[in-house]
Structure 1
């Protein structure tokens, strides 16, 4: 992996591009003193060296699991697990969601249907006496991956009362669906797909093979 970085820089890729590739790809760098000195001798910029040192490595391979990268901005569709109302929940309240469908990368399930996702209320207020509309707003926090890691999410939603109807409060109902996206790339170990076993011949086929 160290040599790959040197070759990318020699090929003319910008420092920014190389750092992004380090961030987005499974990494296993040799961080020994000798290897770092070799990188310095090859004129690898300090920023790239720091990216290599700080790059999260894949967890040690686990039997029956496959190392997989969840790219930045991967779509995760979720459904609200509870109703929200400005009259009940206040800013800071943790909101829970469920994942609607499996999220798969190259056929591997990295986030399971039904996995729990979390958000946090940023604003929750009823209509004010001065006529300011009621408002409900939250942002997404994270979702549980197939290996138990919490994967950061971005995105959120908001509701505001109408100036015409002048609702005292606004709400979001349990079961409402929303779209959110992963924030940054994250490496996970996911269960390997179960291979179908070959169908064994029946006793009659074993004793009376076709001619």
Structure 2
């Protein structure tokens, strides 16, 4: 006999939605919009602004054809764009790949190719090694420069040159804060890609899903 608990009790919008970190920021922006979410140097960014900028980043990525299954790579320190990428990238069902800022050009090039990176957001602080990696890599992602206003030009490790075709702030500014972002179709879908150090060979890719994150 058919199990009665499996009849007419399917998932629907009233009783189920995929688990994803995206809803955390959405809820917080609605509940505590004026609370400070991010402190970076002289910058103070509220949850409302954090959510708005994440939406605009997602919109800008979508306008450049980024969507489900595409990899967006970032070479960033713990800066506002890094946080925005953690929400803006999965909002278009793409996968976030964060590069380790301490790796050399050859390993970075391998990861860019293995991940099939479509977009690369790079802080000018790391543009030197990324430029070397791009020479070695077969992947040709869209390069977007981030110029950190709170990182002094005369810091111990001076800013490198701009290597991209777009500026991050200009890229985000072109996005739409009313963007209709997407929940994952399934909580098992990939949200991020990370790599091991590759000390015994090439790095190994590790995938996180929305539920796991």
- TM-score, length of structure 1 as denominator length: 0.24
More strand by share: 1
- TM-score, length of structure 2 as denominator length: 0.24
More helix by share: 2
